[in-house]
Structure formats: structure tokens, C-alpha cells
């Protein structure tokens, strides 16, 4: 853990500059708008350790893998969301000296991420080697209102002498990815132009041939008076700059505004991308910095209106949840079904920026509760449109008859993860995609999604399970061999309980869905049967047989065994580990980890969480008490599930402990890896921890279920839920719970086990006994 940031309900504040924290801060203070994102790199040059990062959603490169690509079924590449051309740069020279916080004396420093307004700002005072001192303040944002634009206001004031200042705004397309497998340059430069204070660079990705056009235009004043200085210009392949030299009196302020446009060929034809970039940039300049900023703030105000969680009595908890909500909303806006949510979002290169099962298992519940249904539907449509690729992925592994195996990692539907124990074995991801369809429908009531899209996916996944599962003559049961469950500290195991459970459930839900679609839309069902050559009688008969005769390993009548042979391991609990040996994934050999009983993240408990309504409280308690002491929580996805279950069984102290871990995982850098980027998808788990854990939120039979309870030191907490056309504000104290219907749609609610109909504009208040 590394605590160097100030606690504030709406701000992330770094109030001193320490070079050893800089790369972590670049991640933590990242900004984005769903289409573009960037790490909090300094605008001026910085010669210290840094990870330059600008990312354009959906633009990627298939980086050839170093291992396994020659083997049957192995992906040939790993998809990388690319470090895109750098548009933030403004070099500053104080006299002849470069302003560089790694080389000058930093007298004061403050960096602020304003989560309420979506802005990144810095204020610092620096002393140059010559003794000249300058004060700098910077504000920048990527517009949520006009997501192809952004702006930077950079102000510099000489403090102890009249000073000649040269400022050089630029766009640099000659960038690299730190994680390139073969040290390749992923971009080729197509065009560049510079005309006075306005410049453009157009770059194209190799192989995938995406094009990105970036534009800049600069305006400057001294004490509010516009500069009348013709810049020197310079350009070369992939690079443009304008260089201005001005005399700034002591105490006067030079204000530089850099307007930005970022367009990609996902949304613009390549023959018009440069001209469109000019148009978008002109519109931003005509709007002006202040109006752009106000529109951006207004957009964030609307986002917070739906998604904010208020915690009174615990500023660390409050800051943590808002930090997570902020990054989720700036990573994915749900307006483009071609896009998804990478584990690092726009904050770093690790994991390639590609989509994992995290989206369905963790992110979907957040967007279901906080955004219009179309946002969540677009996440499902992303997978639907990749169905034929998922079938191809399965075919590469020897599956037939339209069986689909969705990729563990993807940008375009193709599998691009090349570790065998993940690519071939962590197949429970299929179940997460199936469960997401069920979760979406039960929350929104959009049952028509089954006929239009969902059933087709469910059938293909069930076909996969049917072929992947085999019959054991010894056990007289169906079994699933050679898998990796959510606990990636176990590989190539037989009968992982969670994987068997989610597979069985998927086939059962597919059978139910077939009957629903046959009844409600028989024409659509018949069209699907014809399209996918579905033999209902033969295929469903096998599914039913598997469901009835599946093997589930058990420790006793209540505790589900993680997999066959788990109890052959030496049973040691986490409290017996030497703290110096933590985290074990950084201290132990992989061989030692695989032989241990330690669990990386919720595995059995993931299944108990998903299918909680199947189990009585004693079953949930006994499984939690068995697996929590063996779980090291070395996946960011782990603590949130444990929070929900701990709260369910009344272990509020443990729930709160794990909540703080998940909500402040990156702010306090629990795993010593914030410098690589943030854990964006697990941030949705933080929302689950509060709303499903402390709020007790469930959906049963078309009704919203709530059972709020507060951690000991909280005075109150409040959140909103969008549910089947209604917007409900739930506020809980230790003595009462109120539900305010802020919409015109009535909402059926079960609060503390009692049913209510919360009609439009009604406020329900119930004492908490």
C-alpha cells in the first residue's frame, strides 16, 4: 500500500512532487471521454520516468505473439490498444532553459483530478538552474459534450525577473508502445501540415489500417491581451510544431490555450478525415475554452445525477467509490456498440486494452443500474456481433455444429490471448456472456432481446458446453476436464465447481429461453432454427441429460469443492503466510503457487454469488468461511464478490474491510502496480460492493429487492437505480430507509422482505428494525 494522495470527497489531490510516484499518478489522474483517453503526462517536457499514453477507442494493432503461435489453435497475435500520437505537448523554455520538473527545483506542486467536473489541473512553482522562478497553472479536459475535442489552458508567470519565454505546442505521431512484443513501430505517418498556429498529423496503424487525425490550434495572451506574434513552424514526418517567443514581465501571466481535435476512421471516411478534423477543430475554437468547459461540466453533472453514491461519515469510502464511478464513466459511454471496456481502460498498456469476461461479470451490473438500457444492450450487442467469430474460435479447437467459444481476450471477436491455461482452459467466460443476457433481461424487462439476439448466442454457447462435457464411466456422471476456473492459481483441473455450475445453468436457461421465444415469437424461432441448423429434439435431449447427471465436487453436504483433488493440497490459510511473502504472485515461483491451496480470486464464491437464490444462508456462510481464509485477493476482481456475500451473512466488519480494499485499490496502490494503469473493470465491482453488498440490491421475479445495512462508521449512504423505466433514489441510515421515485413509472419493490409499489413521485419511508 502506498498512501500519498489527500482524502477528499470529490477530488484526488497530490500536494507534493515526488518522482518515484509520478508514473502511478499518471495512471490515477488519467482523463477520458469514451472515445479518447490519456494518462496524466505533463504538457511540458519531463526527462524522468514516465509512460506516455494517449489512446483512441477501438483503434488497435495485432502484435505478433512471442510464444505458441506455431501451435494448432494458438492465436497468432495479441491485440494492443495503441499509444496514439501525443497531442498534449507544450514545450516551455524559460530563457534558454527547458522547463523540466525532473531537472529543476520544484518549490511547490499540486495536481488535482476534479471528479465532479472531469478536469485535470496542476499548479506548481519551479526554480530553474539559473535561479529564475516561474509559477505555472494548467487545466485540461477531454470533452464529454463533444468527444472529438479537448482543450488545455497553460498559464505561466515569471516570479523574480522579466523573462523571455518560448512555448512550443506540438503534435507528435512518432510514438511507441512500451509493451510491443518485437519493438515494432505500430504507426505509419500519412500526412502532416502546419500553418502558423494550426497544425495536423494523420497517422495510420500498420496491418489494421485505422487512421487517426489529430489537430491543434493555439491562442495566447499576456494579462488578457492577445499576442500578436508570428510563430516559427517546424514539421517532419508525423510531427508538427509552432514556436512562439515572447517577453513576459515579472508578475505578468502568459496564458496559452491549445485546442485539440481527435478523429478516427471508425467514424470518418479516410478521404475526408483531415478535412473533417479541420471542421471539428474550428468549431471548438469558435466555441471557446470557457464554453467548451461549461458544456463538459454540464455533461458530467448529468452523469453524476444517475450514478453518484453518497456516503456520509467516511471520506475515504466516499472518495473511493466516486473515483471508481468516475473512471468507469469516462472509459465507456455506451454510445457505440463496436466498443467495449478494457481492464486498464485509457490508463495504461497492460492487457492490451482489449475486452475480457470482466465486462459481463462486473461492468454490466453497474451500467444496468446507472445508465439507460441501451448502454447495457450495446455491451451485449458487441458479443452478438462477434458470434460468428466465436464459432470460428471453437472450430479452431475442434468443436463443430455451430458451437461457440467466446475469446478470453479480443478486439474484433478473434481470440488473441496466448497463454494456454487461459486461452484453452478458462472457458467459464462463455458462462459470463450467457449470464449477462439473463441479467440484462431480468433488470430491464426487455424479453424481446431473446428473440432478436440472445437466444442465438445462448444456443451456440450451450452447443459448446454439450461438446466440452464428457461422460465418465467411473463416476456415472458427466464431467468437464482440463479447465481453469476464475482462480487462475489453478490450471488444468478437472471439474471446477464454478465452471460446471455455470455450464449447467447456461444449458438450463437456454432451454427456458427456447420455450419463451417459441411462445412469443414463433416466426423468429423458426428462422433461428433454420439459420443455425438447430436440431431441437436431439440437442436439447443431450442438454437435459447433462443437467440431470452433472458431477459437482463436494466437501460435505454444504461446502462445494473448488475442483476434484483440491483437498489433496496442504491446507494453509492466508493468516499463516509471512507478510514478506505477499503478494505471492510476485514472490513465489509459479510451480509453488500451483501446488498451494491459495485462491487468487473468488471461484466457488463467484458461483455462490451468481446463484445465491439457490442456497440457504447456512450454505452461503459455510462456503464463505471455508474459502475466504484461503483467498489472497491478488486479483482486483476478487474482493467485491466477497463483500456482497459477507454482507449477506452479516459479516459487516469483513465486508467493510474488503470494500476499502476494492474501492481504494488504485488510489492507495494496494498491489504496487498503479504505474501500469488502473483496474477499470474491477471498479465496477466497487459499485456492486456498495449497492449489492451494503444495499442488498437484487432482482427477483421482476421486482427490485433491497436490504440496506450500514458499516459501523457510516452515518448514511444513498444511491440511485434505474429499474424498468423508473429512477429510484435509495437513502439508508441506521434507523430508516427511504425510497424516492423520481420518475413517472411505478416500481415494484421488496424492502426488508415486504412488498411495496412505489408509485411515480412517491417517497416511501420504512423504519429499519
Q: What residues pair up with 621 in beta bridges, in sequence order?
A: none
User: 430: part of which helix (H) or strand (E)?
Assistant: helix 429-444
> For residues 639 and 498, what is the distance between their CA atoms, to the nearest angstrom?
17
Q: Is the dihedral of CA 602, 604, 606, 612 positive or negative?
A: negative
Q: DSSP letter for 561, please.
A: P
Residues 6+ apart with CB under 8 A from 757: 746, 747, 748, 749
- Going by C-alpha positions, the residue among 735, 769, 742, 743 that lies closest to residue 754 is 769
- Going by C-alpha positions, the residue among 365, 375, 337, 340 that lies closest to residue 355 is 340
Radius of gyration of the chain (CA): 27
Residue 618 appears among annotated catalytic residues: no
For residue 64, the SS3 value is strand
Are residues 625 and 658 in contact, defined by beta-carbon separation less than 8 angstroms? Answer: no
Are residues 464 and 404 in contact, defined by beta-carbon separation less than 8 angstroms? Answer: yes
Are residues 30 and 40 in contact, defined by beta-carbon separation less than 8 angstroms? Answer: yes
**Cα separation values, 131 from 97, 98, 110, 246, Å:** 11, 13, 21, 19
H helical segments located in 315-402: 315-331, 358, 364-370, 373-384, 387-396
> For residues 346 and 303, what is the distance between their CA atoms, to the nearest angstrom?
19
**Cα separation values, 648 from 208, 504, 651, 695, 696, Å:** 48, 25, 8, 10, 7
- Going by C-alpha positions, the residue among 260, 247, 58, 14 that lies closest to residue 142 is 260
Catalytic residue among 488, 490, 634, 676: 488
CB atoms within 10 A of CB 489: 24
Q: What residues pair up with 708 in beta bridges, in sequence order?
A: none
> For residues 108 and 263, what is the distance between their CA atoms, to the nearest angstrom?
37
> For residues 166 and 592, what is the distance between their CA atoms, to the nearest angstrom?
57
103: its cell numbers: 531537472
- Going by C-alpha positions, the residue among 311, 411, 262, 383 that lies closest to residue 687 is 311
- Going by C-alpha positions, the residue among 397, 580, 579, 420 that lies closest to residue 488 is 420
CB atoms within 10 A of CB 194: 20
- Going by C-alpha positions, the residue among 84, 107, 118 that lies closest to residue 12 is 118
- How far the first Cα of the chain sits from its last, in Å, is 38
The residue written with cell numbers 534558454 in the block is 96
141-176 burial by CB neighbour count: b if 16+ within 10 A, else e? Answer: bbbbbbbbbbbbbbbbbbeeeebebbbbbbbbbebe
Q: What residues pair up with 214 in beta bridges, in sequence order?
A: 201, 262
Strand segments (E) across 411-549: 470-472, 477-479
> For residues 400 and 385, what is the distance between their CA atoms, to the nearest angstrom?
20
Helices (H) and strands (E) in the chain, counts: 22, 31
Tell me the HSE value of 490 on the side-chain side, using a 13 A CA sphere. 29
- Going by C-alpha positions, the residue among 109, 216, 224, 104 that lies closest to residue 169 is 216
Are residues 217 and 197 in contact, defined by beta-carbon separation less than 8 angstroms? Answer: yes
Q: What residues pair up with 225 in beta bridges, in sequence order?
A: 222
**Cα separation values, 213 from 261, 275, 742, Å:** 8, 10, 43
List active site positions.
488
Amino acid at each position: 500500500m502506498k498512501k500519498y494522495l489527500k482524502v477528499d470527497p470529490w477530488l484526488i489531490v497530490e500536494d507534493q512532487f515526488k518522482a518515484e510516484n509520478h508514473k502511478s499518478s499518471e495512471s490515477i489522474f488519467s482523463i477520458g471521454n469514451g472515445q479518447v483517453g490519456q494518462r496524466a503526462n505533463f504538457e511540458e517536457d519531463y526527462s524522468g520516468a514516465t509512460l506516455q499514453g494517449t489512446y483512441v477507442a477501438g483503434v488497435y494493432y495485432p502484435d505478433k505473439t512471442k510464444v505458441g503461435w506455431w501451435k494448432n489453435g494458438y492465436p497468432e497475435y495479441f491485440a494492443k490498444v495503441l499509444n496514439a500520437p501525443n497531442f498534449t505537448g507544450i514545450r516551455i523554455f524559460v530563457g534558454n532553459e527547458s522547463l523540466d520538473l525532473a531537472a529543476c527545483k520544484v518549490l511547490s506542486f499540486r495536481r488535482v483530478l476534479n471528479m465532479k467536473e472531469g478536469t485535470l489541473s496542476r499548479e506548481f512553482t519551479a526554480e530553474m538552474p539559473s535561479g529564475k522562478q516561474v509559477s505555472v497553472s494548467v487545466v485540461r479536459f477531454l470533452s464529454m459534450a463533444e468527444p472529438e475535442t479537448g482543450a488545455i489552458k497553460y498559464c505561466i508567470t515569471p516570479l523574480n525577473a522579466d523573462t523571455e519565454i518560448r512555448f512550443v505546442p506540438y503534435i507528435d505521431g512518432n510514438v511507441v508502445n512500451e509493451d510491443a512484443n518485437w519493438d515494432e513501430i505500430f504507426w505509419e505517418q500519412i500526412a502532416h501540415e502546419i500553418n502558423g498556429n494550426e497544425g495536423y498529423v494523420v497517422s495510420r496503424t500498420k496491418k489494421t489500417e485505422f487512421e487517426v487525425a489529430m489537430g491543434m490550434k493555439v491562442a495566447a495572451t499576456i494579462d488578457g491581451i492577445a499576442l500578436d506574434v508570428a510563430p516559427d513552424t517546424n514539421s517532419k514526418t508525423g510531427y508538427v510544431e509552432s514556436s512562439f517567443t515572447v517577453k513576459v514581465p515579472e508578475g505578468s501571466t502568459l496564458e496559452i490555450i491549445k485546442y485539440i481535435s481527435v478523429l478516427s476512421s471508425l467514424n470518418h471516411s479516410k478521404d475526408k478525415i483531415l478535412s473533417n478534423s479541420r471542421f471539428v477543430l474550428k468549431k471548438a475554437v469558435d466555441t471557446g475554452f470557457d464554453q467548451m468547459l461549461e458544456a463538459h461540466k454540464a455533461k458530467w453533472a448529468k452523469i453524476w445525477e444517475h450514478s453518484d453514491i453518497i456516503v456520509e461519515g467516511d471520506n475515504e469510502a466516499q472518495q473511493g467509490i466516486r473515483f471508481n464511478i468516475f473512471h468507469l464513466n469516462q472509459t465507456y459511454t455506451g454510445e457505440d456498440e463496436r466498443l467495449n471496456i478494457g481492464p486498464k481502460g485509457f490508463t495504461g498498456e497492460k492487457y492490451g486494452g482489449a475486452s475480457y469476461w470482466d465486462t459481463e461479470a462486473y461492468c454490466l451490473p453497474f451500467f444496468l443500474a446507472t445508465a439507460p438500457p441501451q448502454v447495457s444492450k450495446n455491451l451485449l450487442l458487441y458479443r452478438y456481433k462477434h458470434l460468428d467469430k466465436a464459432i470460428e474460435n471453437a472450430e479452431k479447437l475442434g468443436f463443430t455444429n455451430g458451437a461457440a467459444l467466446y475469446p478470453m481476450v479480443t478486439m474484433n471477436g478473434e481470440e488473441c490471448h496466448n497463454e494456454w491455461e487461459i486461452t484453452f482452459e478458462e472457458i467459464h467466460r462463455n458462462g459470463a456472456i450467457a449470464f449477462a443476457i439473463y441479467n440484462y433481461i431480468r433488470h430491464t424487462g426487455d424479453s424481446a432481446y431473446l428473440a432478436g439476439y440472445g437466444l442465438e448466442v445462448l444456443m451456440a454457447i450451450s452447443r459448446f458446453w454439450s461438446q466440452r462435457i464428457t461422460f465418465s464411466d467411473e463416476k456415472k456422471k458427466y464431467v468437464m476436464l482440463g479447465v481453469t476456473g476464475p482462480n487462475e492459481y489453478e490450471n488444468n483441473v478437472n471439474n471446477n465447481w464454478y465452471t460446471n455450475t455455470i455450464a449447467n445453468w447456461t444449458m438450463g436457461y437456454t432451454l427456458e429461453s427456447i420455450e419463451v421465444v417459441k411462445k412469443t415469437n414463433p416466426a423468429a424461432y423458426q428462422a433461428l432454427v433454420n439459420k443455425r441448423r438447430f436440431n431441437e429434439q436431439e440437442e436439447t435431449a443431450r442438454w437435459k441429460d447433462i443437467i440431470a447427471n452433472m458431477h459437482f465436487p463436494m466437501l460435505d453436504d454444504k461446502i462445494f469443492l473448488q475442483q476434484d483433488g483440491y483437498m489433496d493440497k496442504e491446507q494453509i490459510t492466508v493468516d499463516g503466510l509471512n507478510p514478506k511473502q505477499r503478494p505471492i504472485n510476485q514472490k513465489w515461483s509459479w510451480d509453488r503457487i500451483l501446488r498451494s491451496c491459495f485462491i487468487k480470486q473468488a471461484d466457488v464464491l463467484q458461483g455462490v454469488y451468481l446463484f445465491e437464490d439457490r442456497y440457504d444462508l447456512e450454505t452461503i456462510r459455510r462456503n464463505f468461511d471455508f474459502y475466504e481464509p484461503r483467498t489472497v485477493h491478488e486479483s482486483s476482481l476478487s474482493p467485491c464478490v466477497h463483500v456482497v456475500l459477507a454482507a449477506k451473512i452479516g459479516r459487516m466488519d469483513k465486508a467493510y474491510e474488503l470494500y476499502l480494499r476494492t474501492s481504494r485499490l488504485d488510489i492507495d496502490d494496494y498491489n504496487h502496480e498503479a504505474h501500469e494503469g488502473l483496474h477499470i473493470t474491477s471498479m465496477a465491482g466497487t459499485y456492486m460492493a456498495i449497492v449489492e453488498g451494503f444495499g442488498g440490491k437484487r432482482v427477483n421475479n421482476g421486482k427490485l429487492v433491497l436490504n440496506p445495512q450500514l458499516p459501523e462508521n457510516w452515518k448514511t449512504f444513498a444511491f440511485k437505480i434505474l429499474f424498468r423505466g423508473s429512477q429510484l433514489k435509495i437513502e439508508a441510515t441506521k434507523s430508516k430507509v427511504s425510497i424516492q421515485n423520481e420518475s413517472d413509472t411505478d416500481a415494484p419493490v421488496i424492502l426488508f422482505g415486504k412488498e411495496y409499489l412505489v408509485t411515480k413521485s412517491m417517497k416511501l419511508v420504512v423504519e429499519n428494525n
